[in-house]
Amino acid sequence: MKAKRIIWVLVIIAVINSMGFGIIIPLLYPYGKKFGVTEQTIGLLTAAYSIAQFFATPVLGSLSDRFGRKPILVISLIGTCASFIVFGLANSIVVLFAARILDGLTGGNISVAQAMVSDISSPQERAKNFGILGSAFGFGFVIGPAIGGVLSRYGMQVPFFFAAGIAIVGVLLTIFFLKETNQRNTGESSADAHKFNFVSLYTVLKKPVIGTAIFTGFLLTMAQFTMLIGFQTFSVDQLKLNPTQIGLFYGGFGISGILMQMLVPAVKKVISSQAVILLISTLFCLGMMVLAGFATGLVLFAISVGIYGLFNGLRNPMLNAIIADHNEGNQKGEVMGINQSYASIGQTLGPVTAGLITAISIHSVFFLSSLYILIALLFSIRLIAKEKQS
């Protein structure tokens, strides 16, 4: 009962956190234009968050291993709140970058929440619980942009202050309703306690199962964010959709992934191996991305993107469960943080490489995404072999 309560408190916090993030993402460019943000610098502004998160998230995860998940989650949520306030009060492009970097440096919310799920879940329940948490984050991302669009009617700064307000709600929920889950090492601050070293960003990849899972997740994340650039350009230039139609289209893509994450328990009843589920879902994603590359009209494109979104929803629950199953030591938070670090770099490299290849054609973006998925498919096969060996 206690574990279920913690899960549902984390679900509420995840919705609040991702909704706040989703609220501001569509507004970064129009809001930043008055400070000199251009089509080129918006990419840098977005990348600033991911790069800061790459270095900070594993450190926060390691600190949560030593001092507990709850205080680190509170600190990261306060940092998110502060970054939204700074962004809303910005008077120059430098302040905008400072706000995004601050959010990235304190952006350990996801990895700490994942570590908490790992703490309280049995191996049989992990995939299901990670699916529930993933659905919560996905739901927040889907409804966030819509809320941001409505609030922007009352002023471009209003959504940022609203996002700061709901981050504070997350802080209060964490303080008063969330129980500490890392009882083993809470308060351990002696010289013998494990301390994070940035070399771990490389050495963790040498771990047979965990390293393969993290790198597979990096490739699939990069493929998804490559596809999103193609999704936007194809919808505007080829399909001639208006912003409202694109928003609804994207919302449908997000909801398909959420639905699949909610179906994780049913999928696990049919196929017990998480690595096999990952392989099958990756194979479907590959087929649908190739199909999207050949699409010329709305129907075929919608079908391929919709089915891709459905099976892509299985990625994070399966990978997180595999990583947690093979990481039973006192470094759960650190390893989850490293996993999130590589995901953040994938979120950066995907759009960058997609932007470069659009010079060839709009369709080439989907084939580039297919290439990343194909490589991930090969690593998925390797992951099954490594799991059997372990």
Contacts of 51 (CB under 8 A, 6+ apart): 104, 344, 345, 348
202-390 shares the fold of 1-178: yes
78 Rama class: left (phi>0) / alpha (psi -120 to 50) / beta? alpha
**Over its length of 390 residues, how does the chain's per-residue pLDDT go in tens digits?**
477 888 888 888 888 878 877 777 667 777 887 888 776 677 677 778 888 888 888 888 888 888 899 999 999 999 989 999 998 898 888 999 999 899 888 876 788 888 899 888 888 888 889 988 888 888 887 888 778 878 888 888 888 899 899 989 989 999 998 889 887 655 544 444 556 667 777 888 888 899 999 999 999 999 998 998 888 788 878 888 776 677 678 778 888 888 898 888 899 889 989 999 999 999 999 999 999 999 989 999 999 999 999 999 999 999 999 998 888 666 777 888 888 889 888 988 888 888 888 778 888 999 999 999 999 999 999 999 988 887
pLDDT at 387: 84
Q: Residue type for 52, please?
A: A
Taking Cα atoms as reference points, which of 121, 10, 125, 21 lies closest to residue 69?
10
How far is it, in rounded angstroms, from Cα 190 to Cα 232? Answer: 51
How far is it, in rounded angstroms, from Cα 171 to Cα 81? Answer: 9
For the chain, what are the domain ranges? 1-178, 202-390
CATH architecture of 202-390: Up-down Bundle (1.20)
Helices (H) and strands (E) in the chain, counts: 17, 0
Handedness of CA 255, 259, 262, 267 (dihedral sign): negative
How far is it, in rounded angstroms, from Cα 374 to Cα 223? Answer: 10
Supply 161's token pair. Answer: 């202050």
CATH topology of domain 1-178: Growth Hormone; Chain: A; (1.20.1250)
HEC string of 228-271 equals: HHHHHHHHHHHCCCCHHHHHHHHHHHHHHHHHHHHCHHHHHHHC
Supply 98's token pair. Answer: 């400072």
pLDDT at 192: 45
Distances (CA, A) of 203 to 11, 207, 307: 32, 7, 35
